Homo-oligomer: A and B are copies of this chain.
């Protein structure tokens, strides 16, 4: 069988996924996450509760589902190993954020950006989602370590890399929270740069933040 098994099947599957997730985020925002049952989401999306669980393993994944982590890891693996770790990771995070929010930065939020903000607000305000989101960052930390280190398996060798990656992701998270508080009015890459500068010193980011 071809790996691209069927364009039509994959298309329909992706469509229903997007539909379910859109209705889920809308309902969670309107009524609250805990007050909305999976059955409510299924009814709003016009599918059965079973179908929801087939596309999203848990209720939390209805908000968290996202594949941006891979992007960051790839960007780091492709970056130059000559510069210091924190700068290497930091620039990758800033560039990835710029790619993700490439629409108008302040006055004209694109639909994609509004959806990102809605999901982010839910992730921050709902304890269960916030916890899982932070755990996703922990998984991303390990992916970054793998992308940086190459092939080290000695735990003593990867330890400093893990520490640096974790600290960078904490700065990213702080920037994301601030971005959501600000309703996306400030450009996300600038916020990440500022967070990195606050944690590691102004000299760590390659290009200084413009604010």
Contacts and interface: CB of A to CB of B under 8 A. Distances in A.
A169 interface: yes
Contacts of A168: 167
A194 interface: yes
Interface residues of A, number: 35
Of A127, A159, A194, A199, chain B has the most CB atoms within 10 Å of the CB of A199
Of A130, A131, A178, chain B has the most CB atoms within 10 Å of the CB of A131
A81 to B, nearest CB: 16
A127 B57 CA distance: 14
Nearest to A132: B131
A198 B89 CA distance: 14
A160 B186 CA distance: 15
Number of copies of this kind of chain in the complex: 2
Interface of A: 86, 127, 130-132, 134-135, 137-138, 155, 159-164, 166-171, 173-175, 177-178, 181-182, 194-196, 198-200
B131 A163 contact: no
Contacts of A167: 167-168, 170-171, 199-200
A204 B156 CA distance: 20
A194 B160 contact: yes
